[in-house]
Structure 1
Amino acid sequence: MAVAAPSATIRSFSAAMSPSRRLRERMIVRSTGPSVVPILTNLQNTCTTPLPVLRRVADSMTADLRAGLAQEGSSDLKMILSYVDSLPTGDEKGIFYALDLGGTNFRVLRVQLGGKDKRVIDSEFEQVTIPQELMFGTSEELFDFIAMRLANFARKEGGRLHLPNGRKGEIGFTFSFPIKQTSIDSGTLIKWTKGFAVSGTAGKDVVACLNESMERQGVEMHVSALVNDTVGTLAGARYWDDDVMVAVILGTGTNACYVERLDAIPKLQVQMPSSGRTVCIQPLFRL
């Protein structure tokens, strides 16, 4: 950390130095300054990866990407399908909710979008710490707790952000644990990570678990999209800039997603709804 000293202190220190000492300091700086340049130049030349090596790395990665798109288990890159066939355009308007479950904390968000003219009109969020006993409890206990806190948050709707009467809220569910996604709004849990050991959830549809808990808690919402944090990042960026094609997460796990052509994904066996022109793929890089 660099700390800036007051100018008065610097002047006092300079005045206290003898002329001969100041001269020696200037000579040292002048004599050592030019010698740094060849050292840095040599360091740069030594550390620079040759262009042919970079091209081989890129070609190898491309081959792994294509293998992962062609068939399950044929590549170290999982190339998980997100089933997102369209991304925000910036024209979206209305009130939307989001729930982000990524670890020991989860976040709930309410946002009012105003389209290209107003973009994000207003937003409110709340972060909740999951009690440790629920991390080792049952699936019903965990999702009931999440739904209860979501219900409390929804009841705090003020005059600025509120849904029209009779309208059921749409919620996006960001679930940052290994799942096998089967559609835009369903996915079965493969296993818990990040210190969780919740019983009775593996192999179950996490969206169904949340929807059932919201119904028990009287929350008038339904999950319209289940996404990984990388896909959520890409969708959020696309609302502002339709040129964005890649999103990266650098955290406990390092992951990325990008937009791919449907005709480049042989392993996709289902008919995609809507335009069917794009889909987000998660290579699942792990550090």
Structure 2
Amino acid sequence: MALTSALCDDSVEALVSNIEAQFDLAPAQLEDLTKAFLDEVAQGLSAYRQPLAMIPTFVTSVPNGTETGRVCQVAFSGDHKYEVELQKQHKIKDDLKNGEATKLFGKLRIEYLAECVDIFVKESSDAFLSLDASSDSPVYLGLTFSFPVEQHALDSGVLLQWTKGFSAKNAVGHDVVSLLQEALDERDTHVKQLALCFRKHMSLEGAIFGTGTNGAWVEDVKKLPSSITL
């Protein structure tokens, strides 16, 4: 016979209160955290390879909200890759995540991703992208690659290391944007990659808290290392 026990209401309330108290910070503690964070930001802006990585995005202007048109987005993050506005999800199998880069990238090209994008473009051409097989007009593509990447330009980023359970060999040190673009070109998929940001008007900062934590904001170029040219 299995023994069971139940907490009384008072015990549950006390347990919840105890957990909540651990997240209750005094104003002085919040001020200390803010100062420590800003100090880390200043160090990250002053030079590369600091504890808090501050990598330029090479986005030099912010949209004003009047832009029109349609783009395709590939979000490569964790276990899924998906495209929006019409959405299609693909499960990335363990043998792709942890095997040779040739399986994920194909001959050091992102063949798997390119195939998924190609299928999506063809399936969505009438409903979303308004393309036909003879069209030479590119569909603009934004790539969200949620791994440590050192950007060299708006459309260039070198993979620094794998995270989130990925360990594909012979991939670190390669420009993931170029790899995907080359794979798309080989498939004759009419997609051109670019980076876009679109926020609410006058919003200059954003953050994400998911399988990883990241943030971006508009910063004074003068605070960047002199070796960086935008």
**Which range, TM-score by smaller chain?**
0.7 to 0.9
1:60 matches 2:52: no
Counterpart of 1:242 in structure 2 is 201
Q: Work out which of the residue numbers 147, 162, 179 in structure 1 matches 2:149.
A: 179
- For 1:251 and 1:162, how far apart are their aligned partners in 2? 30
1:261 matches 2:220: yes
Counterpart of 2:13 in structure 1 is none
SS in structure 2 of the partner of residue 187 of structure 1: strand
Query: Unmatched 5+ residue regions in structure 1?
Result: 1-39, 110-122, 226-231, 273-287
- For 1:251 and 1:95, how far apart are their aligned partners in 2? 26
Count of residues in correspondence between the two structures: 204
- Whether the 8 Å CA contact 2:136–2:190 is kept in 1: the answer is no
Between Structure 1 and Structure 2, which shows a larger proportion of helix residues?
1
Structure 1 stretches of 4+ with a deviation exceeding 4 A read none
SS in structure 2 of the partner of residue 249 of structure 1: strand
1:137 matches 2:99: yes
- Report the Cα offset of residue 270 of structure 1: 3.4
What is the letter of the counterpart of residue 158 of structure 2? T
- Report the Cα offset of residue 218 of structure 1: 2.4
Counterpart of 2:26 in structure 1 is 49
Sort the Cα spacing of 1:80 and 1:158 in 2 relative to 1 into closer, same or farther, 3 A: closer
Sort the Cα spacing of 1:97 and 1:268 in 2 relative to 1 into closer, same or farther, 3 A: farther
Q: Work out which of the residue numbers 166, 170, 173 in structure 2 matches 1:203.
A: 173
Sort the Cα spacing of 1:162 and 1:255 in 2 relative to 1 into closer, same or farther, 3 A: closer
What is the letter of the counterpart of residue 246 of structure 1? E
- Report the Cα offset of residue 58 of structure 1: 2.5
- Report the Cα offset of residue 160 of structure 1: 4.0
SS in structure 1 of the partner of residue 170 of structure 2: coil
Q: Describe the superposition over 1:6-28 as per-residue Cα deviations: whole angstroms up to 9, x where unpaired.
A: xxxxxxxxxxxxxxxxxxxxxxx
What is the letter of the counterpart of residue 186 of structure 1? S
What is the letter of the counterpart of residue 72 of structure 1? Y
Counterpart of 1:98 in structure 2 is 73
What is the letter of the counterpart of residue 77 of structure 1? L
Query: Unmatched 5+ residue regions in structure 2?
Result: 1-16, 105-109
- Report the Cα offset of residue 175 of structure 1: 0.2
Q: Work out which of the residue numbers 221, 242, 259 in structure 1 matches 2:191.
A: 221
The percent of aligned pairs where both chains have the same amino acid is 26
Q: Describe the superposition over 1:75-112 as per-residue Cα deviations: whole angstroms up to 9, x where unpaired.
A: 42111211111222212212211100012210122xxx
